[in-house]
Amino acid sequence: MKKRLGASVAAAALALLGFTAPSSIAATTDDSTCGNTGVICVGVVTDIGHVTDKSFNQAAWEGAQAGAKAVGGIANYIESNAATDTEYANNMELFAAKHYSVIVTVGYLEANATITEAAKYPDIKFIGVDQFLDTTKTTPNLAGLNWHEDQAGFIAGYLSGYLTKTGKTGEVVGMNIPPVYRYAVGFANGVAYAGKEQKKKFPATKIIYHPAGDNAFSDPAFGASNSAQLLSQGYDVIFAAGGGTGNGGLARIAKSKGKYCIGVDVDQWNTVPEAQACLVTSAEKLIAPGVADLIGKFKAGTFAGGNVFGKVGIAPYHAFASKIPAAVQAKVTAITKKVLSGSLSTGVK
């Protein structure tokens, strides 16, 4: 009897866990005309999370809205309730059933589902945000929107080279995988470039990678503790890049006075408000313009599948705008142009 009671509690707990409300298209805009000739409908399937997450989902949704507006179309979104291929696929099919013309999926977690659905609906264009594609396995109606992380890292590193007082800069980053490596080495090269420009010999930027494992990007204690170790040895500008691991670093650096930290991917001023005391800027992937641009290409009939690279940059300085000398800001703007145009190499292959 007692055991049965225990088992029922367990069953109830698991049932509760499995229960999530079915996802549906947010009724922001009337989409009954989708499928008619000349009507462009853009559907965004968020990763688990909301379109107000101040991060990837929000940026992709803003890009979809801007892009749809520019071509006189309609944009809607579905917020995914679970991080499973089935959930993502179901949500994409909700849009497909309503004859949407472009489906935007957000984040690498959706990559598998996006590839499958794109093959299933060849008439619909798919945009996989932050999904690097193996183009031998994908259909031409799918474009993976990516960024040159090394460029964003380089620009942020260049700024850091002008901010550091001790000349010692460090990085606490996630697992050593290609995008993280590009950010990290790009940053280090940016610092070195700024050093050379100022005729100063900086010690090499110290990169601390997470030992990986399935928690490489969700280990804030690792980020915090390693940042503290760097701070205590005089490193005064630290690039903390790597999901929760990096965010832990940012929050910790903010507790030390007079140190600078730099965020990653999106403007982390909003996503990690704890870090505002030290957050000068973030090495940013410009997601919204990238998405909007691809929608524009769809309208123009120049949409091509495969890997597409969007622009990068650094986020606004916010409260630090008044603290960074105008001359330095001007230099950063100039170097950004050079890096983006490709006339200045980041030194990362």
Partner 1 sequence: MLNTIKSFNFKSWKFLLSVATVALWIYCYSANMDITNSVVASGMRFGMPLALASMVGIMCERSGVINIGIEGTMLLSGFTGFYVASYSKNIVIGLVIAILTGVLTSFVHAMMTIKWGMDQIIAGTIINILASGLTSFLYREGSTVPNTWPIFDIPVLSKIPLLGASLFSQLGPIQLFGMFLIPAIWVMMNKTRWGLRTRSVGENPGAADTAGINVIRMRMTNVMIGGAIGGLVGGFICLELVGSFSKDFTAGTGFTALALMIFGRWNPLGAFAAAILFGLAQALATQLQIFGVNNVPNQFITILPYVFTILVLAFSAGKVRPPAAAGKPYEKEQS
List of residues contacting partner 1 (CB under 8 A): 2-3, 5-7, 9-10, 13-14, 16-17, 20, 48-50, 53-55, 81, 170, 176, 204, 206-213, 215, 218-226, 228-230, 232-233, 243-244, 247-248, 251-252, 254-255, 270-274
Min separation Cβ 67 and partner 1, Å: 24
Complex with partner 1: residue 97 or 221, whichever CB lies closer = 221
Complex with partner 1: residue 80 or 90, whichever CB lies closer? 80
Biggest CA–CA distance in the chain, Å, is 79
Comparing CB distances to partner 1, the nearer of 215 and 329 is 215
In the complex, the smallest distance separating the C-beta of residue 217 from partner 1, rounded to whole angstroms, is: 9
- Per the structure block, which two tokens stand in for 131? 């999904």
* Nearest to partner 1 of 144, 249 (CB atom): 249
State in angstroms the smallest separation of the CB of 242 from partner 1.
11
CB nearer partner 1, residue 50 or residue 311: 50
| Amino acid present at 162 | Y
CB 251 → partner 1: shortest distance, Å?
A: 4
State the Cα angle at 84 between 78 and 85, rounded to 5°: 85
Integer angstrom CA distances of residue 131 from 112, 127, 337: 9, 9, 25
| Shortest separation between residue 82's beta carbon and partner 1, angstroms | 9
Smallest gap, in angstroms, from Cβ of residue 80 to partner 1? 11
**Selection from 306, 242, 308 nearest residue 63 by Cα:** 308
- Find the shortest distance in angstroms from Cβ 168 to partner 1: 10
Least distance in Å: CB of 298 to partner 1? 30
**In sequence order, which ranges of the chain are alpha helices (DSSP H)?**
2-18, 56-70, 85-97, 111-120, 149-163, 178-197, 220-231, 243-253, 268-271, 287-300, 326-341
Task: Give dist(CA 118, CA 104) in Å, integer.
Answer: 11
Q: Which is nearer to partner 1, 206 or 338 (CB)?
A: 206
8 A C-beta contact, residue 295 and residue 247: no
Nearer to partner 1, 42 or 348 (CB): 348
Q: Which is nearer to partner 1, 33 or 233 (CB)?
A: 233
Angle between helices 111-120 and 85-97 (to 10 degrees): 40
- 73 or 186: CB nearest partner 1: 186
Q: What one-character-per-residue DSSP string does 42-92 give?
A: EEEEPPSS-TTSSSHHHHHHHHHHHHHHHTT-EEEEE--SSSSHHHHHHHH
- Structure tokens that stand for 305 in this block: 């599948």
Task: State the CB neighbour count (10 A cutoff) for residue 72.
Answer: 10
Torsion angle of C-alpha atoms 212, 217, 222, 225, degrees rounded to 10:
130
Nearest distance in Å: CB 113, partner 1: 18
Q: What spatial distance separates the first Cα and last Cα of the chain, rounded to whole Å?
A: 65
